Every structure is written in C-alpha cells, then in structure tokens.
C-alpha cells in the first residue's frame, strides 16, 4: 500500500521539484504541502498522512512541531531534511525518533523510507515509557550522511503501540553527571552523589541507588570505591548478544552474517527482565549502593554498541532503583549522548578555568539548538577556591543562563584526593565539611528527600555536648 506524505516546508521551489519527481512513485502519494505551521495542522486533519517531511519553517523549531504533531497524531513518521550545516544535529533528531535526510533531498531516499515505515497498526513493539519522552523514541541508526545507507534503516518505533504497552512503574530518577572536559570532577561528584542518595530516605523508605560507569573504555568508578570490576557492563552485553544470537538462530539465520543495523532491529524485540540486573552489579557494602561498572579490559569496550546501551538504559529505567546515577566520559560519543537524553536531570560539571567554561558554553549551545530542555541541566562548578578570576555570576552570564538558575559550587578540598586514593567517599567522613555540605545541597536540589538525616557522617554531630549557645538560638 502506498504511504501518503505531507510536505511541510517554506521553500516552495524545492517542494515543486520533489512533487514532480515523486508524481509517479509506487511507494508514495504526496497528499499535500504546507508552508506554515497553521496550514500544516489543517492539512494533517484533512489528509491524515502516514509521513511528514519537515523542511525548514522559519516561524518554528522542527523538534517542537514534531513533538506537537506526534501528540495529536501518534502514528506519524517524521523525516527532517537538513542542510549540511544542520547535520550536526542529527544525533538529536535521532533521539527524537525523527529520520534525517541530507539536503538536497533525493526522492529515492524518501521512497526508501516510505517502504520501510511501518503501516498503521503495525506490530512493531518498542519498550518505551512516554511517547513524548525523547529518550524513549531513540532509534540508534546512523542514517543519511550517505544516501545509500537509507535502505538499511530499521523500522521506526510505532508510537501508538508504545502508548498502549505502558506499564505502571515506580517513580525513578535518572541523573547523568557530565562535563565536556576530563579531570573536572565528574567521577568524584557521581560517587559522592550516589553515596549521598544511598544513605537517604524518601517517603520513609531508604532509596535504592545504582551508579553506572559510562566511561566504557577508561572508567574508574569502581576503583574510587575499592570495588571489584567483575561482573560489569560487558558481562551484561555478552548475555544480550547470546540472546540476540539465539533469536537469530531460531529464525534459521546465521548470526555471523548480521549487520549492525539488523541487530538494532532485533533489539526492539528483546525483552530484558529488570530483575536480571542483579547479575551484573557489584555492591558497596558500607552504603548498600549498587554499581554497574565499566569493563575491566579496554578491548571489551570496543564490543559495546549503541543498541546494547539503549537496551541497558531502557531496562534500568524499568528497574526497582529509585535513583540511577550515570558517570560519563568527557566526549560526545553516542554512549554519552544517550546518557544525556535518557536522563531526567543532568549535572554539568566544570572547573572555574577558561577551557572548561568554554566547552560547557559550546555544549550548552548545541543542546539549546537541539531543543534539549534546559530545565534538566544543573551547572556545577567544582574545585572553587576562595578567590577565583571568574565569579559565578560572570559564569552564569557567559552561559546565558536564566537569572533564576542557580549555579552549584563545590569547594576545592585537599581531602578529595585522599578520599579517592583511600576509596572512602567524602560523604562518609565523620563531621562536617564545606565539600560535604555542597554535595548535599546539590543532591537535595536534584531530588527531594526526607529531611531527617541518615548520613553516617552526620551522626557524631548529634552526640555533641549540649551548648548553651545552641540552646539559646536553636
Ligand atoms: N573538589 C575537589 N577538590 C580537590 N580535588 C578535586 C576535587 N574534585 C576533583 N578533584 C581531583 O580531581 C581529580 C579528577 O577528578 P575526577 O572526578 O576523576 O574527574 P573526571 O571524572 O571529570 O575526569 C581527582 O582525582 C581529584 O584528585
Ligand atoms: Mg571520570
């Protein structure tokens, strides 16, 4: 059956060229075109297309209209036509579940997508939570930098199916700690936040916390807590591969002949049980914190593909953990981008040094252009000394943050180095310190917790001798 396509673009010239080329297509019918958003809504109502091709529309951002259209018409497939300069946003479009084609548009590409786009009521099942959640619509194909790869595109998620298979789940919180520069304190802050949360309660229940090391090649999260590195993410990836290969064999296919893209399709049919996670984690006995560590051997990290990580993140989202903290590498690989898009909150870590500040600014720019919700980002300046060349207000202005947005700070503290070497988190040190207070402030801003303190370090404080001053002033 032919798919109907609505073209939304304010470039009438290119619409006409495309219409001419596709006039005799056996895969596609162009049901109409719109040059403005209002017109597009009317056409969507009137013509009920299967697919929408989004060219440029000056009055709005594509990601936004795409999400709005999808809410009203959940079955729609979207194709964004990008100029070469816009192709840098491709990973973000992919995370929104939008196909991307390079301009000038090749009619053959659009036909190939029509061929592959699921028909209405198709049974493609994808394990998602919210169709409006960017992370859930992720499909990790890398399309269209070269037109010939179009034919390898896997099926797009069927959002109508996604809506109906939602299972009620416990509220959980996925926090990604990121910073586009090495050595700024991401791993330190991830460890301290994870330890902080694992000693807290919410609504009377101790929080169940998992820390995940997404520095797949050179991760050291386990080391900073004196934990073993087996089992680890690679143990899980091997198990996923075993299941995928068994599935292929059951269908009479040779797993050795599979391409990456084909595995990506298979992944959406694989149902991982969140209960199996315990097989791949190591536990920090002092705090009850669980850790999914990075592989022991760098070579193992080369075998971890985007679709593995997607599946792992999806499974973690449906797990019993209340808080999942992801420590990342200072890069823009798909692993890191996925960790950013899956997160409900991102802690953007930097140091008060120009190179770190510059890179955060560049990252914020990219995320803004990709319409990443800025409310999710908490900026945290680590290693602040008493006198800095840049004040937090100057940094805020440089980042163009909303005046109401707080920049968190953590002081430079000689104890940090010792605590990393000894494997004993600062949050477990007895007594108070300004670094501990700062982590706690950040933690509480990320997730509301019960006010009663359960921090081991805070206990000696309660036993302090009664003081006349405290008695007088409370
Ligand atoms: N607040 C701090 N005060 C003093 N030293 C710190 C602080 N935060 C981090 N460090 C030091 O910086 C080093 C690098 O931190 P790390 O968390 O590994 O950075 P990243 O994960 O961003 O690469 C740590 O080994 C530690 O010695
Ligand atoms: Mg690190």
Output the CA 269–ligand 2 centroid distance in Å. Answer: 33
Ligand nearest to the CA of 417: 1
Average pLDDT, 10 consecutive residues per value, the chain (474 residues): 89 88 89 90 91 83 76 81 76 73 83 68 29 34 28 32 38 91 97 97 93 97 96 97 92 88 80 89 97 97 93 92 97 91 95 95 90 91 92 91 91 96 96 96 93 52 44 38
- Residue ranges lining ligand 1, Cβ < 6 Å: 179, 182-188, 382-383, 410, 412-413, 416-417, 420, 435
Distance (angstroms) between ligand 1 centre and the Cα of 220 equals: 12
For ligand 1, pick from 176, 180, 181, 188 the residue to mutate: most ligand atoms within 8 Å of CB. Answer: 188
| CA 329 to ligand 2 centroid distance, Å | 6
Atom of ligand 1 minimally distant from the CA of 420: 25
Nearest CA to ligand 1 atom 14: 183
CA 93–ligand 2 middle distance (angstroms): 27
pLDDT of residue 69: 82
- For residue 214, the CA-to-ligand 2 centroid distance in Å is 9
Ligand nearest to the CA of 178: 1
Q: Determine the atom of ligand 1 nearest the C-alpha atom of 417.
A: 27
The closest-lying atom of ligand 1 relative to the alpha carbon of residue 413 is 3
How close is the Cα of 425 to the center of ligand 2, in Å? 15
Q: Which ligand is nearest to the CA of 384?
A: 1
Residue among 176, 177, 181, 183 whose CB has most ligand 1 atoms within 8 A, to mutate: 183
Q: Whose CA is nearest to atom 27 of ligand 1?
A: 417
Mutate to test the pocket of ligand 1, among 223, 416, 435, 436 (most ligand atoms within 8 A of CB): 416
Ligand 2 center to residue 187 CA distance, Å?
Answer: 4
pLDDT digits (tens, 9 = 90+) for 67-126: 778 777 877 888 888 887 777 677 667 766 778 888 888 888 888 788 776 643 332 222
Ligand 2 midpoint to CA 33 (Å): 49
pLDDT tens digits, 284-325: 999 999 999 999 999 999 999 989 998 999 899 889 999 999
Tell me, in angstroms, the distance from the centre of ligand 2 to residue 103's CA. 38
Three-state SS letters, the chain:
CCEEEEEECCCHHHHHHHHHHHCCCCCEEEEEEECCHHHHHHHHHHHCCCEEEECCCCCCCHHHHHHHHHHHCCCCEEEEEECHHHHHHHHHHHHCCCEEEECCCCHHHHHHHHHHCCCCCCCCCCCCCCCCCHHHHCCCCCCCCCHHHHHHCCCCCCHHHHHHCCCCCCCCEEEEEECCCCCCCHHHHHHHHHHHHHCCEECCEECCEEEEECCCCCCCCCHHHCCCCCCCHHHHHHHHHHHHHHHHHHCCCCHHHCCHHHHHHHHCCCCCCHHHHHHHCEEECCCCEEEECCCCCHHHHHCCCHHHHHHHHHHHHCCCCCEEEEECCCCCCHHHHHHHHHCCEEEEEECCCHHHHHHHHHHHHHHHHCCCCHHHEEEEEEEECCCCCCCHHHHHHHHCCCCCCCCEEEECCHHHHHHHHHCCCHHHCCCCCHHHHHHHHHHHHHCCCCCCCCCHHHHHHHCCCCCHHHHHHC
Distance 34 CA to ligand 2 centre (A): 48
Enumerate domains of the chain plus CATH numbers: 3-164 (3.40.50.2300), 173-469 (3.40.50.300)
pLDDT at residue number 170: 57
Q: Give the number of the atom of ligand 1 that is nearest the alpha carbon of residue 349.
A: 22
- Please choose from 185, 190, 225, 380 the residue to mutate so as to test ligand 1's pocket, defined by most ligand atoms within 8 A of CB: 185
* Closest ligand 1 atom to Cα of 382: 1
């Amino acid at each position: 059956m032919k798919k109907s396509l609505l073209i939304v673009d304010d470039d009438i010239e290119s619409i006409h060229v495309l219409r001419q080329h596709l006039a005799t297509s056996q895969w596609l019918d162009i049901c109409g075109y719109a040059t403005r958003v209002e017109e597009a809504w009317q056409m969507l109502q009137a013509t009920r297309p299967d697919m929408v091709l989004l060219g440029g529309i000056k009055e709005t951002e594509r990601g936004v209209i795409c999400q709005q259209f999808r809410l009203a018409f959940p079955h729609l497939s979207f194709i964004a036509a990008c100029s070469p300069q816009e192709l840098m946003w491709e990973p973000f479009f992919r995370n929104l579940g939008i196909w991307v084609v390079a301009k000038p548009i090749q009619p053959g590409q659009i036909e190939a997508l029509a061929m592959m786009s699921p028909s209405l009521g198709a049974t493609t099942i994808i394990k998602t939570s919210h169709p409006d959640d960017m992370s859930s619509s992720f499909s990790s194909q890398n399309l269209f930098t070269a037109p010939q790869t179009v034919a390898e595109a896997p099926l797009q998620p069927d959002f109508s199916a996604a809506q109906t298979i939602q299972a009620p789940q416990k509220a959980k919180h996925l926090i990604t700690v990121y910073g586009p520069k090495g050595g700024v304190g991401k791993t330190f802050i991830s460890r301290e936040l994870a330890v902080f949360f694992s000693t807290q309660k919410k609504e009377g229940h101790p929080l169940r916390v998992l820390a995940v090391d997404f520095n797949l090649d050179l991760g050291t999260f386990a080391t900073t807590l004196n934990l073993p590195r087996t089992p680890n993410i690679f143990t899980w990836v091997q198990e996923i591969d075993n299941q995928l290969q068994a599935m292929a064999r059951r269908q009479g296919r040779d797993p050795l002949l599979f391409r990456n893209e084909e595995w990506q399709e298979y992944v959406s049919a694989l149902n991982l049980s969140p209960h199996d996670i315990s097989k791949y984690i190591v536990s920090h006995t002092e705090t009850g914190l669980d850790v999914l560590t990075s592989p022991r051997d760098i070579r193992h990290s080369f075998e971890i593909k985007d679709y593995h990580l997607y599946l792992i993140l999806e499974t973690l989202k449906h797990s019993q953990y209340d808080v999942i903290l992801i420590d990342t590498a200072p890069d823009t690989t798909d692993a890191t981008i996925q960790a950013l898009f899956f997160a409900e909150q991102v802690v953007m870590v930097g140091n008060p040094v120009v190179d770190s500040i510059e890179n955060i600014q560049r990252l914020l720019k990219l995320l803004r252009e990709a319409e990443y919700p800025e409310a999710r980002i908490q900026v945290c300046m680590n290693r602040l000394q008493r006198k800095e060349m840049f004040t937090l207000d100057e940094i805020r202005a440089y980042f163009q943050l909303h005046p109401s947005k707080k920049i968190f700070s953590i002081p430079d503290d000689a104890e940090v180095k010792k605590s990393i070497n000894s494997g004993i988190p600062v949050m477990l040190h007895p007594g108070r310190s300004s670094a501990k207070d700062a982590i706690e402030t950040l933690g509480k801003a990320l997730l509301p917790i019960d006010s009663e303190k359960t921090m081991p370090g805070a206990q000696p404080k309660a036993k302090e001798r009664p003081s006349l001053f405290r008695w007088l002033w409370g």
